[in-house]
């Protein structure tokens, strides 16, 4: 089993990347949250990985943090949720928001993830509520970011809706950009024009 990869990022798309490890190219499927944190091509990247083995295929899934990988494994433990849907769930919300929503039993929040209906969201909240407590994620981090940037998020979403994007998708993308930038201590300094441009880049890759 391949538990992690460290090598040169040769190619990246919103769905998968290729990492060159001593001349061998490994393809790994990644969630959007990990994709957005990747370095430019030809730079060194480290990923925590999960190897999914089937009768007809062997597939790698990559994550920027071990916590994200752990949540992926918990999602895979739920009946009816395979790796593709688990990646989709991780792509739908920043990790701290996802973990926080599960802990609170926030079915409405979980239902906002594309492809997740109310019944699946309720099952996620019920089956993961206790298990997810073992995952060390600062769920308080997501709240202040949203509150602090509420007006900027609203303005950016309004502009994106005017450009033809659906409001829920636009809002999730804006928050994902801010989550990433705030982690680099740059979110507060990001002008609204740049926030919209960064979000458009993210949306264009999905």
If pLDDT is split at 50, 70 and 90, which confidence band does 4 have? very high
Cα Rg of the chain, angstroms: 17
Q: How many residues does the chain have?
A: 206
Q: How many CB atoms lie within 10 A of CB 126?
A: 13
Q: Please give the mean pLDDT across all residues of the chain.
A: 83
Q: How far apart are CA 86 and CA 92, in angstroms?
A: 10
192-204 helix and 150-162 helix, angle to the nearest 10 degrees = 50
Q: How many CA atoms lie within 13 A of 76 on its CB side?
A: 13
148-167 pLDDT tens trace: 567 778 888 888 888 888 88
**113 against 54, higher pLDDT:** 113
In this prediction, residues 72-90 reach a mean pLDDT of 91
Q: How far apart are CA 169 and CA 163, in angstroms?
A: 13
Q: Apex CA 145: angle with CA 140 and CA 150, to 5°? A: 130
* pLDDT at residue 198 tops 80: yes
**126 against 114, higher pLDDT:** 126
Q: How many CB atoms lie within 10 A of CB 100?
A: 21
87-107 pLDDT tens trace: 999 988 888 889 989 998 999
The encoded tokens of residue 139 equal 């769920």
In this prediction, residues 42-67 reach a mean pLDDT of 90
Residues 6+ apart with CB under 8 A from 147: none
Residue 164 is predicted with a pLDDT of: 85
In this prediction, residues 24-46 reach a mean pLDDT of 91
* pLDDT at residue 26 tops 70: yes
Query: Which pTM value belongs to this model?
Result: 0.67
């Amino acid at each position: 089993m391949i538990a992690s990869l460290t090598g040169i990022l040769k190619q990246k798309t919103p769905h998968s990347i290729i990492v060159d490890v001593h001349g061998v190219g490994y393809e790994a499927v990644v969630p959007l949250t990990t994709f957005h944190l990747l370095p430019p091509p030809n730079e060194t990247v480290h990923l925590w990985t999960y190897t999914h083995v089937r009768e007809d295929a062997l597939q790698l899934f990559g994550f920027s943090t071990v916590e994200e990988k752990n949540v992926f494994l918990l999602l895979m433990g739920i009946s009816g949720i395979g790796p593709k849907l688990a990646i989709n769930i991780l792509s739908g919300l920043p990790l701290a928001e996802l973990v926080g929503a599960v802990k609170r039993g926030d079915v409405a929040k979980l239902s906002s993830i594309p492809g997740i209906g109310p019944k699946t969201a309720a099952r996620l909240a019920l089956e993961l509520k206790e298990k997810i407590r073992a995952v060390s994620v600062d769920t308080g981090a997501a709240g202040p970011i949203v509150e602090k940037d509420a007006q900027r998020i609203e303005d950016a979403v309004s502009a994106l809706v005017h450009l033809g994007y659906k409001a829920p998708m636009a809002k999730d993308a804006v928050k994902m950009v801010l989550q990433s930038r705030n982690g680099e201590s740059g979110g507060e300094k990001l002008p609204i024009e740049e926030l919209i441009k960064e979000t458009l880049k993210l949306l264009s890759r999905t």
